[in-house]
Protein backbone atom coordinates (compact mmCIF):
# COMPACT_ATOMS: atom_id res chain seq x y z
CA UNK A 1 0.00 0.00 0.00
CA UNK A 2 1.33 3.43 -0.92
CA UNK A 3 1.71 6.01 1.81
CA UNK A 4 -0.54 9.01 1.38
CA UNK A 5 1.10 12.40 1.62
CA UNK A 6 0.24 14.38 4.71
CA UNK A 7 -0.03 18.17 4.65
CA UNK A 8 1.52 20.51 7.15
CA UNK A 9 -0.12 20.36 10.59
CA UNK A 10 -2.88 22.91 11.09
CA UNK A 11 -2.04 25.67 13.54
CA UNK A 12 -3.80 25.25 16.87
CA UNK A 13 -6.59 27.77 17.35
CA UNK A 14 -7.23 29.32 20.76
CA UNK A 15 -10.90 30.12 21.31
CA UNK A 16 -11.06 33.64 22.72
CA UNK A 17 -14.24 35.05 21.17
CA UNK A 18 -17.18 34.19 18.90
CA UNK A 19 -15.09 34.41 15.72
CA UNK A 20 -12.48 31.93 16.90
CA UNK A 21 -15.25 29.67 18.27
CA UNK A 22 -16.89 29.76 14.84
CA UNK A 23 -13.61 28.76 13.19
CA UNK A 24 -13.02 25.97 15.72
CA UNK A 25 -16.49 24.57 15.01
CA UNK A 26 -15.77 24.64 11.27
CA UNK A 27 -12.67 22.57 11.96
CA UNK A 28 -14.74 20.09 13.96
CA UNK A 29 -17.21 19.88 11.07
CA UNK A 30 -14.36 19.03 8.70
CA UNK A 31 -13.13 16.36 11.12
CA UNK A 32 -16.64 14.88 11.36
CA UNK A 33 -16.67 14.55 7.56
CA UNK A 34 -13.83 12.04 7.74
CA UNK A 35 -11.03 14.53 8.13
CA UNK A 36 -11.18 15.82 4.56
CA UNK A 37 -7.96 17.57 3.60
CA UNK A 38 -8.13 21.15 2.41
CA UNK A 39 -7.02 19.97 -1.02
CA UNK A 40 -10.00 17.60 -1.11
CA UNK A 41 -12.29 20.41 0.01
CA UNK A 42 -10.86 22.63 -2.73
CA UNK A 43 -11.80 19.98 -5.29
CA UNK A 44 -15.36 19.81 -3.97
CA UNK A 45 -15.96 23.54 -3.48
CA UNK A 46 -13.86 25.08 -6.30
CA UNK A 47 -12.36 27.47 -3.77
CA UNK A 48 -8.62 27.50 -3.29
CA UNK A 49 -6.75 25.74 -0.50
CA UNK A 50 -5.70 29.16 0.83
CA UNK A 51 -9.27 30.50 0.91
CA UNK A 52 -10.50 27.44 2.81
CA UNK A 53 -7.71 27.47 5.38
CA UNK A 54 -8.33 31.19 5.92
CA UNK A 55 -11.98 30.33 6.64
CA UNK A 56 -10.92 28.26 9.67
CA UNK A 57 -8.07 30.47 10.86
CA UNK A 58 -10.25 32.48 13.26
CA UNK A 59 -8.98 35.89 12.17
CA UNK A 60 -12.30 36.95 10.65
CA UNK A 61 -15.52 35.44 9.34
CA UNK A 62 -15.32 33.82 5.92
CA UNK A 63 -17.55 35.19 3.19
CA UNK A 64 -20.98 33.59 3.06
CA UNK A 65 -20.39 31.81 -0.31
CA UNK A 66 -17.16 30.27 1.02
CA UNK A 67 -18.86 29.22 4.26
CA UNK A 68 -21.80 27.55 2.52
CA UNK A 69 -19.54 25.73 0.06
CA UNK A 70 -17.38 24.51 2.97
CA UNK A 71 -20.37 23.35 5.04
CA UNK A 72 -22.07 21.63 2.10
CA UNK A 73 -18.87 19.78 1.19
CA UNK A 74 -18.64 18.52 4.78
CA UNK A 75 -22.30 17.47 4.93
CA UNK A 76 -23.32 20.14 7.43
CA UNK A 77 -26.57 22.07 7.90
CA UNK A 78 -26.14 25.06 5.58
CA UNK A 79 -29.19 26.93 6.89
CA UNK A 80 -28.07 26.67 10.52
CA UNK A 81 -24.56 27.80 9.66
CA UNK A 82 -25.89 30.71 7.59
CA UNK A 83 -28.07 31.89 10.48
CA UNK A 84 -25.12 31.73 12.85
CA UNK A 85 -22.95 33.61 10.33
CA UNK A 86 -25.60 36.33 9.93
CA UNK A 87 -25.82 36.78 13.71
CA UNK A 88 -22.06 37.10 14.06
CA UNK A 89 -21.84 39.36 11.04
CA UNK A 90 -24.26 41.75 12.68
CA UNK A 91 -22.14 41.82 15.85
CA UNK A 92 -18.77 41.94 14.11
CA UNK A 93 -16.90 45.22 14.67
CA UNK A 94 -16.14 47.22 11.57
CA UNK A 95 -12.70 46.48 10.15
CA UNK A 96 -10.48 49.20 8.72
CA UNK A 97 -10.46 49.50 4.95
CA UNK A 98 -7.38 47.92 3.41
CA UNK A 99 -6.29 49.91 0.39
CA UNK A 100 -5.09 48.08 -2.75
CA UNK A 101 -1.39 47.87 -3.48
CA UNK A 102 -1.78 49.72 -6.79
CA UNK A 103 -3.51 53.00 -7.74
CA UNK A 104 -7.26 52.79 -8.21
CA UNK A 105 -8.35 52.05 -11.78
CA UNK A 106 -11.71 52.10 -13.55
CA UNK A 107 -13.21 48.72 -14.39
CA UNK A 108 -12.14 48.20 -17.99
CA UNK A 109 -10.38 45.68 -20.20
CA UNK A 110 -6.81 45.28 -18.99
CA UNK A 111 -7.35 46.76 -15.51
CA UNK A 112 -5.82 45.08 -12.46
CA UNK A 113 -8.73 43.37 -10.61
CA UNK A 114 -7.92 44.53 -7.09
CA UNK A 115 -7.26 48.11 -8.16
CA UNK A 116 -10.58 48.13 -10.03
CA UNK A 117 -12.47 47.18 -6.85
CA UNK A 118 -13.17 43.56 -7.77
CA UNK A 119 -12.09 42.25 -4.38
CA UNK A 120 -15.35 43.25 -2.70
CA UNK A 121 -17.32 40.42 -4.31
CA UNK A 122 -14.82 38.27 -6.22
CA UNK A 123 -15.75 34.60 -6.52
CA UNK A 124 -14.63 31.57 -8.50
CA UNK A 125 -17.04 30.57 -11.27
CA UNK A 126 -15.28 27.49 -12.63
CA UNK A 127 -11.95 25.78 -12.04
CA UNK A 128 -9.85 22.96 -13.43
CA UNK A 129 -6.76 21.12 -12.25
CA UNK A 130 -3.59 21.40 -14.32
CA UNK A 131 -1.29 18.38 -14.65
CA UNK A 132 2.10 17.76 -16.17
CA UNK A 133 1.69 16.86 -19.84
CA UNK A 134 3.82 13.71 -19.89
CA UNK A 135 2.87 12.20 -16.52
CA UNK A 136 0.05 12.07 -13.98
CA UNK A 137 1.39 14.78 -11.71
CA UNK A 138 -0.89 17.58 -10.54
CA UNK A 139 0.74 21.00 -10.67
CA UNK A 140 -2.08 23.32 -9.59
CA UNK A 141 -5.46 24.66 -10.61
CA UNK A 142 -6.67 27.44 -12.89
CA UNK A 143 -9.73 29.42 -11.78
CA UNK A 144 -12.09 31.73 -13.63
CA UNK A 145 -12.67 34.63 -11.23
CA UNK A 146 -15.66 36.97 -11.45
CA UNK A 147 -16.74 40.26 -9.90
CA UNK A 148 -20.51 40.77 -10.39
CA UNK A 149 -20.39 44.42 -9.33
CA UNK A 150 -17.66 45.24 -11.88
CA UNK A 151 -18.95 42.85 -14.59
CA UNK A 152 -15.37 41.61 -14.84
CA UNK A 153 -13.55 38.27 -15.17
CA UNK A 154 -9.92 37.22 -14.92
CA UNK A 155 -7.81 34.10 -14.54
CA UNK A 156 -6.10 33.00 -11.33
CA UNK A 157 -3.69 30.11 -10.83
CA UNK A 158 -2.78 28.36 -7.58
CA UNK A 159 0.24 26.05 -7.55
CA UNK A 160 0.26 22.79 -5.59
CA UNK A 161 3.10 21.41 -3.50
CA UNK A 162 4.56 19.49 -6.44
CA UNK A 163 5.10 22.74 -8.32
CA UNK A 164 6.62 24.38 -5.26
CA UNK A 165 9.09 21.48 -5.08
CA UNK A 166 10.09 21.97 -8.73
CA UNK A 167 10.52 25.71 -8.23
CA UNK A 168 13.11 25.22 -5.51
CA UNK A 169 15.63 23.76 -7.96
CA UNK A 170 14.48 24.94 -11.41
CA UNK A 171 13.22 28.09 -13.10
CA UNK A 172 9.41 27.95 -13.11
CA UNK A 173 7.17 30.50 -14.82
CA UNK A 174 3.38 30.73 -14.81
CA UNK A 175 1.35 32.19 -17.66
CA UNK A 176 -2.28 33.08 -16.94
CA UNK A 177 -4.77 34.27 -19.56
CA UNK A 178 -8.39 35.32 -19.84
CA UNK A 179 -10.15 35.03 -23.21
CA UNK A 180 -13.44 36.57 -24.33
CA UNK A 181 -15.08 34.69 -27.19
CA UNK A 182 -17.05 37.52 -28.83
CA UNK A 183 -13.99 39.41 -30.09
CA UNK A 184 -11.14 37.00 -29.22
CA UNK A 185 -9.86 39.58 -26.71
CA UNK A 186 -7.08 38.13 -24.58
CA UNK A 187 -5.17 39.40 -21.54
CA UNK A 188 -1.99 37.53 -20.59
CA UNK A 189 0.43 37.65 -17.66
CA UNK A 190 3.62 35.58 -17.38
CA UNK A 191 5.79 35.75 -14.28
CA UNK A 192 8.25 33.65 -12.26
CA UNK A 193 6.45 31.32 -9.86
CA UNK A 194 6.07 33.17 -6.54
CA UNK A 195 4.73 30.38 -4.27
CA UNK A 196 1.38 32.22 -4.15
CA UNK A 197 -1.50 33.08 -6.46
CA UNK A 198 -0.81 34.22 -10.01
CA UNK A 199 -3.44 36.16 -11.92
CA UNK A 200 -3.87 38.23 -15.04
CA UNK A 201 -5.63 41.53 -15.54
CA UNK A 202 -9.30 41.50 -16.33
CA UNK A 203 -11.78 41.63 -19.18
CA UNK A 204 -15.27 43.09 -19.05
CA UNK A 205 -18.06 40.58 -19.55
CA UNK A 206 -20.42 40.81 -22.47
CA UNK A 207 -22.98 38.17 -23.42
CA UNK A 208 -20.40 35.80 -24.88
CA UNK A 209 -18.53 33.01 -23.05
CA UNK A 210 -15.14 33.49 -21.41
CA UNK A 211 -12.50 31.10 -20.15
CA UNK A 212 -9.24 31.23 -18.21
CA UNK A 213 -6.07 29.35 -19.16
CA UNK A 214 -2.77 28.55 -17.46
CA UNK A 215 0.55 27.38 -18.86
CA UNK A 216 3.48 26.18 -16.73
CA UNK A 217 7.04 26.51 -17.99
CA UNK A 218 10.12 24.89 -16.42
CA UNK A 219 13.44 26.17 -17.72
CA UNK A 220 11.42 27.81 -20.53
CA UNK A 221 9.88 24.47 -21.57
CA UNK A 222 6.10 24.03 -21.48
CA UNK A 223 5.35 21.13 -19.12
CA UNK A 224 1.63 21.57 -18.48
CA UNK A 225 -1.40 23.61 -19.41
CA UNK A 226 -5.11 23.71 -18.75
CA UNK A 227 -8.23 25.82 -19.19
CA UNK A 228 -11.43 26.29 -17.25
CA UNK A 229 -14.72 25.33 -18.85
CA UNK A 230 -16.20 28.23 -20.78
CA UNK A 231 -18.67 30.34 -18.81
CA UNK A 232 -21.52 30.67 -19.42
CA UNK A 233 -21.57 27.40 -21.33
Q: Set out the domains of the chain in order of their start, with CATH numbers.
A: 18-91 (1.10.260.40), 118-227 (2.60.40)
> Are 205 and 156 within 8 A, CB to CB?
no
Q: Identify the pLDDT of residue 6.
A: 42
Q: Identify the pLDDT of residue 174.
A: 97
pLDDT band with cut points at 50, 70 and 90 for residue 105: confident
Pairing of strands 172-180, 185-192: antiparallel
- 182 or 166, greater pLDDT: 182
**9 CB contacts (<8 Å, ≥6 apart)?**
none
Q: Lowest mean pLDDT: which of 37-46, 97-106, 107-116, 224-233?
A: 97-106
pLDDT band with cut points at 50, 70 and 90 for residue 97: low
| Mean pLDDT value across residues 89-116 | 77
Q: Is the pLDDT of residue 170 over 90?
A: yes
Nearest-angstrom CA–CA distance, 64 and 154: 21
Q: What is the DSSP letter of 231?
A: B
Q: Identify the pLDDT of residue 4.
A: 39
Q: Is the pLDDT of residue 82 over 50?
A: yes
Q: What is the DSSP letter of 183?
A: T
- 192 or 163, greater pLDDT: 192
pLDDT band with cut points at 50, 70 and 90 for residue 135: confident
| Mean pLDDT value across residues 74-97 | 81
Give strand ranges (E) for 111-169.
Answer: 123-131, 138-147, 152-159
pLDDT tens column, 206-215: 989 999 999 9
Task: Write the burial class of residue 52 (CB in 10 Å: 0-12 exposed, 13-18 middle, 19+ buried).
Answer: buried
Q: Identify the pLDDT of residue 96.
A: 59
**Which of 79, 81, 92, 64 minimizes the C-alpha distance to 30?**
81
Q: Identify the pLDDT of residue 98.
A: 63
Q: Is the pLDDT of residue 93 over 70?
A: no
Q: Identify the pLDDT of residue 137.
A: 86
> Are 225 and 133 within 8 A, CB to CB?
yes
Q: Identify the pLDDT of residue 100.
A: 64
- 12 or 5, greater pLDDT: 12
Q: What is the mean pLDDT of the chain?
A: 87
Q: Is the pLDDT of residue 1 over 50?
A: no
**166 CB contacts (<8 Å, ≥6 apart)?**
172, 218
Amino acid sequence: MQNQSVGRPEKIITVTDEITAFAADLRRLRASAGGLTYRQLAQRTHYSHTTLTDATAGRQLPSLPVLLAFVEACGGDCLAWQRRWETLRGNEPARPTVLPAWPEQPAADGAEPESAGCGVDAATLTARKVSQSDRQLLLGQIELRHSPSRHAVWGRFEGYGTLEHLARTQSVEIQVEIIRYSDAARVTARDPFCFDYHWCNMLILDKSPVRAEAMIFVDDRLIGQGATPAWPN
